[in-house]
Structure 1
Amino acid sequence: MATVVVTTDYLTPGDQVHGALTRAGHEVRYAPAGGARDSKEAKALFDDCAAAIVASEPITADMLSGAGHLRVVARSGVGYDSIDTATATELGIWVCNTPGVNHHAVAEMTFALMLDVARQLSAVTSGVQAGRWPRQAGTELRGAVLGVIGYGPSGRAVADLGRAFGMTVLVTTAHNQPDREGVEFVDLDTLCVRADYISLHTKANADNESLIDRRRLAMMKPTAALINTARGSLIDESALIDALDAGQLAAAALDVVAVEPLPPTSALLGRDDIIITSHLAGQTQQARTRAGLAAADNVIAVLDGRRPPSPVNEPAVTAAHS
């Protein structure tokens, strides 16, 4: 029997994930993240644990280096940039994610944000709640140009919805793609110049931090809107605020930001031209169930001595973690 620590806050004792782990003969310990952990708590998080299922909290080199029994860290989601994967690899620890579990949820949330911007739904709702009866005209998505940055499962799902809405779809991606009817592949600068709605769906890494910077923001149409359901590090937030102030684009809708939770002093708050949601694009009930079970499958495989279904690294074999 091995001990599995679960920090993902929506996974709870008695649920399907708990059942899968206990049926496999493992003990489950819960330590949900209620904000940033202090250094002592973080360093002790993996004490005596062979496996962990985690959400998006940082998993640092210090945390991993002190975890003498840890064999696998499984993300209950797709992105894994919050995990020090290089250190895990050196220590012989598998890092896994759950690809394909939430791309439809992310795509639907992307369009919810896009429709909010197009029809000014947040502003209208606030106005009605305040006793007014706002009747401003919105804009239609049909006929607009949608720019999709990144063409993994979420990007493809967004492109498909864009076509269904009657939008012209531009895509930029670092990976070669077969020709696809209704999608035009362009470079990033061209996409920024031509798109009415620009939606981010690329992985975050050291090479694309502030991918949307001052130069690219200045290229955008003054009527354009920027949508981010990927990672906050992809946008230079200071440059975004300056661009909005200068009228270089019309609006932004951000489900992710550089620092989460968003500090109450953030300059992103209190603006009519920025919609912010709390990193929940992939958080439907169905996607959560799929993600949790997929993370459990990765954990169970490693603890059984098998290769996990969806690893993101190839760990070195060490005495401490073999």
Structure 2
Amino acid sequence: MAHVLVTTDYLRPGDTVHRLLTDAGHSVAYDPSSGPRREADALTLFDGADAAILASEPVTPEMLNAATALKVIARSGVGFDSVDIQAATDHGIWVCNTPGVNHHAVAELAMGLMLTIARRLDAVIPAVRSGQWPRTAGTELHGRTLGIVGFGASGRATAELGRAFGMEVLVSTRYPGQDTEGLEFVDRAVLCARGDYVSLHVEATAGNHHMVDAGFLEALKPTAVLVNTARGSLIDESALARALDDGRIAGAALDVLESETISGGSALRGRDDVVITSHLGGQTVEARQRAGLAAAENVLAVLAGDTPPSPVNQPAAAS
């Protein structure tokens, strides 16, 4: 019997994931966290754990040094930039994610953010709740140009929805793939010059850190809206705030920030030209269910001595 630690806050004792793990003969413990853990707590998080299902909390080399029994970290989501992959690999620990579980949810939120900005729903809804009756004139998405940076699963799903809204869809990517009818593939400079809405759908890698910098923002139309449902590290938030202050772009709709805790500072909080949601991209009932089950399948495979279905590394001990 192995011991599985679960920190993903929407996974609960008695749910489908719990039953899947316990039916396989494993014990399960839960330790969710709504914010950063104290250093001492983080260093002992994996004590006694053979496997862990985690949300997006950081996993440092120091934590992995103390994780003497850990064999697998399964992210209940697509991104894995919160885990030190090299340290995990060096310790012989599999790191897995759950690709394909939330791209429709992310795409729908991206379109929802665009609609919120276009129709000023962020201002209208609270005004009506307070007894006002604003008749704000918004704009339509139909006929506008949607620029999509990155063409993975969520980028493709967003492109499909953009076309359904009657938008002209531009894509900047190194990997066009197939099923691209009705899309125009352009370089990033052309996309920035033409996009009314520019939506980010790339991974958080070292090369993509602050890819949206002053130069990127300068290349956008002054009427453009930046949308980010990917990772907060893609945007230089200070540069974005300056661009908004100077009127170089019209607004931003962000589901992710570099610091997502309540106490985390950001020059973008509290602005009328920025809509911020609380990292809700994959937070649908359907996506959560798919993510939890996929994470559990990765854990069960490793504990059974098999290669997990969706690894993001090749641990030294498994080479």
TM-score (norm 2): 0.97
Aligned match of 2:206: 206
Structure 2 Cα separation of the partners of residues 51 and 174 of structure 1: 35
Task: Please say if residues 5 and 53 of structure 2, whose CA atoms lie closer than 8 Å, have aligned partners that are also in contact.
Answer: yes
1:106 aligns with 2:109: no
Deviates more, 1:197-206 or 1:180-189: 180-189
TM-score (norm 1): 0.97
Deviates more, 1:75-84 or 1:118-127: 118-127
- SS of the counterpart of 1:252? strand
Structure 2 unmatched ranges of 5 or more: none
Structure 1 Cα separation of the partners of residues 55 and 140 of structure 2: 36
- SS of the counterpart of 1:92? coil
Task: Please say if residues 259 and 265 of structure 2, whose CA atoms lie closer than 8 Å, have aligned partners that are also in contact.
Answer: no
- 1:28 maps to a residue whose letter is V
Aligned match of 1:242: 242
Task: Please say if residues 254 and 274 of structure 1, whose CA atoms lie closer than 8 Å, have aligned partners that are also in contact.
Answer: yes
For 1:208-227, list aligned pairs within 5 A.
208-227=208-227
- SS of the counterpart of 1:73? strand
Aligned match of 1:44: 44
Cα deviation digits, residues 254-299 of structure 1 (max 9, x gap):
1000001243653222211001110011100010000000000000
Q: CA RMSD in A?
A: 1.3
1:18 aligns with 2:18: yes
Aligned match of 1:285: 285
Cα deviation digits, residues 229-276 of structure 1 (max 9, x gap):
000000110011110111111110110000012436532222110011
Aligned match of 1:232: 232
Cα deviation digits, residues 54-83 of structure 1 (max 9, x gap):
000001111111111100000000000000
- SS of the counterpart of 2:157? helix
Task: Please say if residues 12 and 18 of structure 1, whose CA atoms lie closer than 8 Å, have aligned partners that are also in contact.
Answer: yes
Q: Give the number of aligned pairs.
A: 319
Structure 2 Cα separation of the partners of residues 279 and 131 of structure 1: 29
Structure 1 Cα separation of the partners of residues 200 and 193 of structure 2: 15
Structure 2 Cα separation of the partners of residues 159 and 169 of structure 1: 6
Aligned match of 1:274: 274
Task: Please say if residues 169 and 183 of structure 2, whose CA atoms lie closer than 8 Å, have aligned partners that are also in contact.
Answer: yes
- SS of the counterpart of 2:253? strand
Aligned match of 1:259: 259
Structure 2 Cα separation of the partners of residues 276 and 215 of structure 1: 23
Aligned match of 1:311: 311
- 2:173 maps to a residue whose letter is T
- 2:274 maps to a residue whose letter is I
Give, in angstroms, the shift of residue 163 of structure 1: 0.7
Aligned match of 1:80: 80
Aligned match of 1:133: 133
Task: Please say if residues 88 and 315 of structure 1, whose CA atoms lie closer than 8 Å, have aligned partners that are also in contact.
Answer: yes
Aligned match of 1:167: 167
Give, in angstroms, the shift of residue 208 of structure 1: 0.8
Structure 1 Cα separation of the partners of residues 34 and 228 of structure 2: 24
Structure 1 Cα separation of the partners of residues 174 and 211 of structure 2: 13
Structure 2 Cα separation of the partners of residues 59 and 188 of structure 1: 33
Task: Please say if residues 195 and 224 of structure 1, whose CA atoms lie closer than 8 Å, have aligned partners that are also in contact.
Answer: yes
- SS of the counterpart of 1:317? helix
Aligned match of 1:294: 294
Structure 2 Cα separation of the partners of residues 260 and 90 of structure 1: 29
- 1:244 maps to a residue whose letter is L
1:197 aligns with 2:197: yes
- SS of the counterpart of 2:52? strand
- 2:285 maps to a residue whose letter is Q
- 2:143 maps to a residue whose letter is G
1:188 aligns with 2:188: yes
